[in-house]
Structure 1
Amino acid sequence: MENNFIDLRLNQQGNQGEDSFWPSFTDIMTVVVMIFLLAMVILLLRNMELLSQLRLSIASEQEALELVRTTDEQNETLEERLIAREHEITMLRMQLMRMTERSEEQEAAISSQRFQITNLSRERDELDNKTKALTQERELLTTQVTRLNQETSRLQNQVSESNRNIERLRLDLEQATARQESTQQDLEQIRLTLREKDQELLAALTRTQEADEQLIDLKQDYSQLKIQYNKLLRPARTAKGKTVVEVRYTKSGQYFRIDYKGPEDSRFSSISRKQLEQNLSRLKRQEDNLYVKVIIPKNSGLSYNEAWSFTNHMHQNYDYYYQEEAEKERIVE
């Protein structure tokens, strides 16, 4: 009974217990919820920070990957250009060796022609001297004939001269006339010989001029070939993505030397021609993109034919590019 009123509520004591329980429970749950919300906010902030760091890390990783990819492409491009330039240098060296050999042959031919011209000139000078001597002799004989004719006229005027002296003078005159005729014939023969020598000398000079023109043409052809080669470098043949094998070919005296560097080797090693053929045949069976890089050093000691024959053999039998060209020719045929 409170304030003079009777409390008619049922379970009055239980309600008082419940009134004292629920406010405490509510306060506890409120604190728990606040702690939960505070922890959630902290976790969200932490997750946002971690997410930002993760994005920065991913961006940095992508930049690093892009830098690595760009560097790899630049390295591959530089390596490809280096291989192409080395191949170009090798081909130019072989062309230079061929032009050098042809120039030496032309110079030898020109030296021989000049030697022949010198001999012909010396023979012509000798013939000129002989001609001058015969001309002087002819003039002397002509003078003697004139004198003999004068003497004959004088003797004819002298009736008192003996017939024997007249006969002797006549014999001398006939002999002088015969000698004059013989001298005239010799002179004509010498003139014919001299004319033939002059023709031979003219022919030799013509051949020398032709040889000089051929040498000039060869030099022009070499210049044009060099220009055309620089313009017509076949870009289709590339070492990019191919199995590269390097072969260095030199000659010392009468002995040939082959240095080989395979796709897995770090340096060159000297091998025989048979071993080289076996290695290349094995790689050709294993790989269909074999790139054979033939290196002819500057002072290789090789002739053009030797360098070109070896290079052509390596390319035609093992290099992927020439194998594809041969396959295309077979398909066309």
Structure 2
Amino acid sequence: MHRFDTFTNLRVNAGDRQSEITLWPSFTDIMTVVLMIFMLTMVVVIVKNTTLAQALLRSEDQRRQIRSLLQDSETIQAELKNTMTDLEEKSRQKQMMNILLGDEIKLLKQDVEGKTAKLAIFERQTDELKKRIDELQARITEIQAESEDRLSALTESKAREIEEYNRKVLSLLNQLKEKEAVILTLGDEKQTLEMSLARQRQDFSTLEEKYIQLIRPARSPAGKKVVTVIYQRGNGLYRIGFKGLDNERIETLTTAQLHQQLGTLRQKWQDQLYVKVIIPEDSGLTYNEAWVFTKDILSRYDYYYQE
């Protein structure tokens, strides 16, 4: 039998019981243990409650942040919707503008083609009149030469014939003056038509540039293989200068040689070939000649007009 007497017994009537053998702890000991367990449990609960309260505060802050982010995202979505609506409206406006510009360009092309044909007719008529005038002047020269020869050889009896010849000469001179007046009139009409055609082509070029700016990037030599063509007229002859790739010297070519050179370069470089056409200010060319040559060369060989 073991005796629990390790510590001093402080309980009431402890002396009377010292002689007794104790096998079970007293009620006070049990309650003390229960109280200690309760206090420990309370401490644990309080610590856990504190931890939970902090976690709740953190979760509440996170919820507030999430709500703020949701509100910001809704605002951004609304702004994006408005932006998309504006972009769609601008896209529709550009499509309508493209359609209107396309129709206007077609009308201008038809007008330019009609005036070009009319100008060609005037030029043919002018050439015919010039030939007729040259023939009349040659005939007048012949008649005057014949008259002078006959005046020196004929007698007074032939004076009437000479006068008749003179009348014919005067008549031919009058006809010549009339033809010259017609040529002047045609020249004025031709100049007026050329000016009108130049304005139409300028308007067409402006509209074409606006149309291209809407649907395509601007024409640029950056990153391209650049060749230079110089076109002018002097002493009644057309001259073509050509400067090839990596070549500082300007060569003089015929039209056939120019097309052969550009055709070879076009096959080799495809959409990398940039053709720079230069018309000097004192080129001696009419606006129509310069425009037709430039348009023909660019439309055949320049990368920008092949796409």
Q: What is the Cα deviation at residue 195 of structure 1? A: 2.0
Q: Could you tell me how far 1:198 is from its partner in structure 2?
A: 2.3
Alignment match, 1:230: none
What is the match of residue 233 of structure 1? none
In structure 2, C-alpha distance between the alignment counterparts of 1:184 and 1:159, rounded to whole Å? 36
Structure 1 residues 151-190: aligned runs within 5 Å: 151-156=146-151, 157-159=153-155, 169-170=165-166, 172-190=168-186
Contact 1:124–1:194 (Cα < 8 Å) also in 2: yes
For 2:135 and 2:83, the matched residues in 1 are separated by 76
- Residue deviations 1:119-178, cap 9 Å, x none? 333322221221111011001011111112222233332238767755664554344233
- Structure-2 residue corresponding to 1:54: 49
1:119 paired residue among 114, 120, 123: 114
Out of 180-189 and 154-163, give the one that drifted further: 154-163
Where does 1:1-333 land on structure 2 (aligned, <5 Å)?
23=13, 31-156=26-151, 157-159=153-155, 169-170=165-166, 172-208=168-204, 211=207, 215=210
C-alpha displacement at 1:88, in angstroms? Answer: 1.1
Aligned equivalents of 1:188 and 1:23: distance in 2?
Answer: 156
CA RMSD of aligned residues (A): 3.5
Mapped to 1, the partners of 2:123 and 2:92 lie a distance apart of 46
Gaps of 5+ in 1: 1-21, 220-333
- 3-state SS, counterpart of residue 126 of structure 1: helix
Q: Percent identity?
A: 9
Q: Bigger CA drift: 69-78 or 30-39? A: 30-39
Q: With the length of structure 2 as denominator, give the TM-score of the two structures.
A: 0.51
Q: 2 CA distance for matches of 1:184 and 1:77? A: 84
Deviation at 1:206, TM superposition (A): 4.5
Counterpart-to-counterpart distance in 1, 2:53 and 2:29:
35
Q: Distance in 2 between matches of 1:39 and 1:203?
A: 111
Q: Which has the higher contact order (CA 8 A, sep 6+)?
A: 1
Question: Which residue identity does 1:87 align to in structure 2?
Answer: N
Give, in whole Å, the separation in 1 of the partners of 2:144 and 2:203. Answer: 53
CA distance in 2, matches of 1:39, 1:207: 106
| Cα contact 1:131–1:187 (8 A) shared by 2 | yes
1:211 and 1:100 map into 2 onto residues whose CA distance is 15
How far is 1:111 from its partner? 4.1
Would you say the 8 A contact 1:155–1:161 is kept in 2?
no
Q: For residue 193 of structure 1, report the CA deviation from its aligned partner.
A: 0.9
CA distance in 2, matches of 1:44, 1:102: 86
Gaps of 5+ in 2: 1-11, 18-24, 215-307
TM-superposed deviation, 1:91: 0.9
1:210 and 1:200 map into 2 onto residues whose CA distance is 15
Does the Cα contact within 8 Å between 1:117 and 1:201 map onto a contact in 2?
yes
TM-score by length of 1: 0.48
| 1:56-81 C-alpha deviation (Å, 9 max, x unpaired) | 33333333333333333333323322
Give me the whole-angstrom Cα distance separating, in 1, the residues matched to 2:143 and 2:103.
Answer: 59
